[in-house]
Amino acid sequence: MATEEFPDSFADVLGGVQRLIRRRLRAGMPEPRLRGAQVELLRLVMAQPGVRVSAAAKELYLAGNSVSTLVNQLVKAGYLHRETDPEDRRSARLTATPAAVARLREWQARRGALVREQVVKLSESERAALAAAVPALRKLAENLHEEVEGI
């Protein structure tokens, strides 16, 4: 593959793998179905309990009103608690409910099983190539994150 073609092909494959994983996982998950942005917000709230809506928007690179909409949806579904921030009454802090924790743990377990199931179908050299690529992929994600922070 020509060097100039690599970035586009690489991005297409990454996006395609992510979409296929999501589609496969949706099949056996309970209702309501969660969209990608909802899952990302729940994962962030679980990693940073008490995060403010504005901080979540910044971390996810979404508009504040978009995150507020996601919060409203997830509160209604019983996956988030929204509490007034005692330090700033205009702000809300978010925590995941036990139902959200259980749902994300199930999703992570199913995702891990799905990926393991597919990885074992690859040749040993293909598995080694994927494993060797993980540090570079982490660095790519870090670079993209830092670049967006600078904007």
Span 86-103, pLDDT tens digits:
887 888 899 999 999 999
Q: Report the domain count for the chain.
A: 2
Domain limits at 102? Answer: 31-120
Which stretches of 27-63 are DSSP H helices? 36-47, 53-60
Please give the model's pTM, rounded to 2 decimal places.
0.74
* 48 and 113 inside one domain: yes
pLDDT tens string, the chain, 151 residues long: the values are 567 788 888 889 988 998 898 888 877 777 778 888 898 999 999 999 999 998 999 888 888 899 999 999 999 999 999 998 788 788 889 999 999 999 989 888 999 999 999 999 999 999 999 999 999 998 988 888 776 655 5
* 101 and 36 inside one domain: yes
Residue 137 in domain: yes
* 72 and 42 inside one domain: yes
* 111 and 144 inside one domain: no
- Is the Cα dihedral 141, 144, 148, 149 positive or negative? positive
From CA 63, how far away is CA 74, in angstroms rounded?
17
